[in-house]
Amino acid sequence: MKSPSSLVLFSLVACSGFVSAAVPLSSIKRVTNLPTASNRFIVEVDTAADIPSKRDSASLHERLYESIRARDIGFQVDKEFNEAGVFVGAALTLVDPADATALETSPGVKAIRPVKVFPAPRPVKIHVITGLDDPQIPPDTESTHILTGVDKLHAEGITGAGIKIGILDTGIDYTHPALGGGFGPGHKVIGGFDLVGDDYDGSNTPVPDPDPLDQCNGHGTHVAGIIGADPLANPFNISGVAFSASLSSYRVFGCAGSVTDDVLVDALLMGFRDGQDIMTLSLGGADGWTESTSEVLASRLVERGKIITIAASNDGASGSWYSSSPGNGINVISVASLDNTVIPIQTATVQGAQHDPIPYFSLFPIPVTEPLPIFATSNDTTVVDDACNPLPDDTPDLSGFLVVVRRGTCSFVQKLQNIADKGGKLTLIYDNGSGFAAIDVGDFNATLIQADDGAFLVSEFVAGVPITVSFPQEGGLIQFPDDTGGLISAFTSYGPSNDFFFKPAVAAPGGNILSTLPVPLGSYGVESGTSMATPFIAGSSALLLSVKGKSQAVTSNARTLFETTAQTISSSHTDGDPLQTVTQQGAGLVNVFNAIHSTTVLSPGEFILNDTAHFNGKHTLTVKNTGNSQKRYSVRHVPAGTAVTFQPGTIFPAVGPVPLTTAAASVSFSTSSFTLAPGASRSVVATFTLPEGDESTFPLYSGFIHVATDVEDLHVSYIGLGASLINAQVLDDTDVFFGEKIPAVIDASGNFQTSPTNYTFDSDTGDFPVLLWRQAFGTPIFRVDLVDANVNFIPTISSRQVKEDTGTPITFPRVRLGGTFARVPIIGSILEVDFLTRNNEDPNDNGFNTVAFDTPTFANGTTIPNGLYKYLIRSLKVTGDSSKEEDFESWLSPIVGVFA
């Protein structure tokens, strides 16, 4: 997952109208950059199909391969999947990707989906320090557990015993004392498998082995500690949410890089076979749809009695409609992150003057035992570029000092290098504003302190007061209040999915979380991300199952239970600001104690009002009193902020934090108060009316229907759109991103083609066209067809390597499109990509799409005859009908001459 710090472009656009030419054309690489592996597909077999074979005894898989071979399709089997009733099929690499069409129509093939690539789970922030230990006895005082009622469950002895949790991640360092110190039956980590090996990076061949040990990455070890850290075996009193549960590690990432769908499918099926009750995946990538293989399978496993928790992702900076796969899986629990209320950090003390202990950003004390005199690199606490230049010649040898320097202008490392050049070994950097966070200082010994503390130290230095600073090796740890504590982490990706599913589902603490790291990587660290929130819900699910049992009734209702008993979260700490949009907080912060002990059951957890064209404004909720006394209930509506999901007057989604307004839906109820005897239930009908709103900003209304007694307060969460999704422009036809209008064909010299151009498709000289476009919004179907240069067709937009290995990128052109769509005369299909996500604002991440047409071939592999053509690109609007030409946006390229 990408870090939110990498945004830029549209935030500029947002505040200053249209800033153009931001992304230089020279930065566009002449390769295909779609998030699917070029020639690799997952084929799902219809087990009921009668696939003919020459041998009666042939297995289903053999029959499948036989029938594919009979169609002259060259392929290699990467993986076989054989879980009857769940998923039967294979991951195949095609010799010629163009054969995908033929593959799709082979007997017994139920579905074929391209292999998606998921980025490595990257934490948003991390700070690890090398350190020391001081073991203590632990009560559960963890702030994250107090926020969510987990501490009270632990006090009742509910710790997840007897529940099996499978973690699909980078592996686990099970040698860690807090994670049991061993592997296999009898240990905390009872099993698992390494599906990929250290060197796997998502593009090479996995090298599996039975041992999922991770001592090179660390992400999965942090995740495992959140679920399972043994409170008796660590110096920070960290206790896993379900520390008595049994863990299994399915290692799907190597030390670095990505993972592909087929590996995830394999791991999910392995976990299913191993009898995991819960599987958790702190991974994902922008998708917007619910259709990838791992999403479909994860969702199916929930129908088979499993609970599956998956990160909502860390793309909050990219704004709405940017939900992630596989978290979009319809039945899974997609998890948002809440910032912890405190951050564990150390303090230094001052001798020779009165001053409170100085908090510094480090989990472990700086290992310096002698008090140090200080030296300030500037006597002026307003200097903007302190120590950005080499220090003056008369600077003393700094090796015996604690150096104090102000943040600003140049990099930390540059300042620290200048200080090191004068012998400095240890530095405190004071902030130049109100910032206070973990910083990256490379190999130097330095950390951040607050501006006020820095100003104090400098003033003492200037005054010539001979103070010293020391670093207590014990007792210096404090729980520093986090400014954004208790709010949804800004990095949490916003939903909903483009097909309007409710994503994310619930939130859990994920910002500034202390947990385990591999022993060689420092043993403990603080990390942030929805990756940290996700195992919290997995652990919470284990607590639930350990109390209520593992029946299908419990597992398939888990999401609803967590949602209806969650706590709704504000959008800020300012009084009067609205609740955070449900599209980022889901149903709110999980309260596991309430989920388990509530004696009212409310269902469903979600009302989906959909868009205005498919408005579903009438919903029924059911309330059941499962307590043993009569209860009086009242029903009320509490709206959340309405997310203004598009920048007014543009086709661009608003970047995060997405602006909120207080324009809210109104709701009437069939009854607003009633009494229920023990065991009784009744239903209430809620009828919604959406407010007026500027449809062009695609306002997303959301909120909560509370059903409360004096002591209980549950809610159903709702989302609805005050616009019709078919009106969302899908193709970017502006010049905002590149300073010139797109879509465009880029010629051999890297310029936008503006006049007829001939190409030789000579790979040595690179003389081939590259298509460049942006999806302003996700699309169910993106297609490129070759048409006659003189085609009589008016597009909606007026004109003025699937990786390195192969030719034309597939997915596959489908034959099913009929209607007016089929009336446009085409010469042949070049490309079809289904369920494409929208692009984001970051040119270095998912800012735009390119496809290199480096061979002169149709999608089916046949060579395009020499001649003059145009490319016709068409993108189906969301909720559009694929047989209707008018539901597509389209663009015709300038004339492209094929002279190979």
Ligand X SMILES: *[C@@H]1O[C@H](CO)[C@@H](O)[C@H](O)[C@H]1NC(C)=O
Residue among 450, 610, 837, 849 that touches ligand X (CB under 6 A): 610
- For residues 9 and 845, the answer to whether their CB atoms sit within 8 Å is no
Residue among 340, 879, 882, 893 that touches ligand X (CB under 6 A): 879
Note if the bond before 371 is cis, omega within 30 degrees: no
Q: Does 869 engage in binding with ligand X (CB under 6 A)?
A: no
Q: Does 136 engage in binding with ligand X (CB under 6 A)?
A: yes
| Residues belonging to the active site | 169, 219, 531
Of all residues in the shown chain, the one whose CB is closest to ligand X is 828
Structure tokens of 835? 């369920």
Structure tokens of 248? 């299994």
Residue among 161, 216, 601, 608 that touches ligand X (CB under 6 A): 608
The rounded distance, in Å, linking the Cα atoms of 388 and 407 is: 10
- For residues 268 and 278, the answer to whether their CB atoms sit within 8 Å is no
Q: Does 747 engage in binding with ligand X (CB under 6 A)?
A: no
Beta bridge partners of 570: 579
- Count of helix runs (H) and strand runs (E) in the chain: 14, 45
Only segment of 162-170, 252-260, 425-433, 517-525 that touches ligand X (CB under 6 A): 425-433
Count, residues near ligand X per rule CB under 6 A: 36
Residues 218-237 within binding reach of ligand X (CB under 6 A): 236-237
Only segment of 115-123, 131-139, 699-707, 883-891 that touches ligand X (CB under 6 A): 131-139
Q: Does 899 engage in binding with ligand X (CB under 6 A)?
A: yes
Min dist. Cβ of residue 878 to ligand X (A): 9
Only segment of 49-57, 347-355, 496-504, 550-558 that touches ligand X (CB under 6 A): 496-504
Min dist. Cβ of residue 805 to ligand X (A): 21
Beta bridge partners of 623: 602, 682
Min dist. Cβ of residue 369 to ligand X (A): 10
Residue among 81, 360, 444, 524 that touches ligand X (CB under 6 A): 444
Would you call 267 helix, strand, or coil by DSSP? helix
The rounded distance, in Å, linking the Cα atoms of 313 and 337 is: 9
Mapping DSSP onto H, E and C, the string for 604-635 reads CCEEEEECHHHCCCEEEEEEEECCCCCEEEEE
Amino acid at 249: S
The rounded distance, in Å, linking the Cα atoms of 710 and 713 is: 8
Amino acid at 876: L
Residue among 185, 464, 629, 790 that touches ligand X (CB under 6 A): 464
Residue among 369, 379, 662, 687 that touches ligand X (CB under 6 A): 379
Q: Which is nearer to ligand X, 18 or 899 (CB)?
A: 899
Beta bridge partners of 165: 247, 278
Q: Does 430 engage in binding with ligand X (CB under 6 A)?
A: no
Q: Does 137 engage in binding with ligand X (CB under 6 A)?
A: yes
Residue with tokens 């706590």: 567
Q: Does 433 engage in binding with ligand X (CB under 6 A)?
A: yes
How many other β-carbons are positioned within 10 Å of the β-carbon of residue 110?
Answer: 13
Q: Does 443 engage in binding with ligand X (CB under 6 A)?
A: yes
Q: Which is nearer to ligand X, 136 or 675 (CB)?
A: 136
Q: Does 131 engage in binding with ligand X (CB under 6 A)?
A: no
Residue among 6, 414, 445, 760 that touches ligand X (CB under 6 A): 445
The rounded distance, in Å, linking the Cα atoms of 210 and 207 is: 10
Residue among 99, 140, 339, 499 that touches ligand X (CB under 6 A): 499
Task: Supply the DSSP string of 509-549, one letter for each residue.
Answer: EEESEEEE--GGGTSEEEEESHHHHHHHHHHHHHHHHHHH-
Residues 821-860 within binding reach of ligand X (CB under 6 A): 828, 858, 860
φ and ψ at residue 762, rounded to 5 degrees:
-90, 115
Residue among 131, 197, 408, 617 that touches ligand X (CB under 6 A): 408
Q: Biggest alpha carbon distance in the chain?
A: 95
The rounded distance, in Å, linking the Cα atoms of 838 and 776 is: 6
Residue among 61, 79, 122, 614 that touches ligand X (CB under 6 A): 614
Q: Does 370 engage in binding with ligand X (CB under 6 A)?
A: no
Side-chain-side CA neighbours of 389 within 13 Å: the count stands at 6
Min dist. Cβ of residue 425 to ligand X (A): 4
Q: Does 760 engage in binding with ligand X (CB under 6 A)?
A: no
Min dist. Cβ of residue 505 to ligand X (A): 13
The rounded distance, in Å, linking the Cα atoms of 192 and 208 is: 12
Min dist. Cβ of residue 414 to ligand X (A): 11
Q: Which is nearer to ligand X, 104 or 209 (CB)?
A: 104
Min dist. Cβ of residue 583 to ligand X (A): 13
Residue among 425, 597, 624, 706 that touches ligand X (CB under 6 A): 425
Residue 822 DSSP one-character state: G
Q: Which is nearer to ligand X, 259 or 467 (CB)?
A: 467
Q: Which is nearer to ligand X, 29 or 618 (CB)?
A: 618
How many other β-carbons are positioned within 10 Å of the β-carbon of residue 54?
Answer: 8
- For residues 433 and 409, the answer to whether their CB atoms sit within 8 Å is no
Q: b/e per residue, 177-201, with b = 16+ CB within 10 A?
A: bbbbeebeeeebbbbbbbbbbbebb
Which residues are near ligand X by CB under 6 A?
136-139, 236-237, 379, 407-409, 420, 425, 432-433, 443-445, 462, 464, 477, 499-501, 608, 610, 614, 756-758, 828, 858, 860, 862, 879, 897, 899
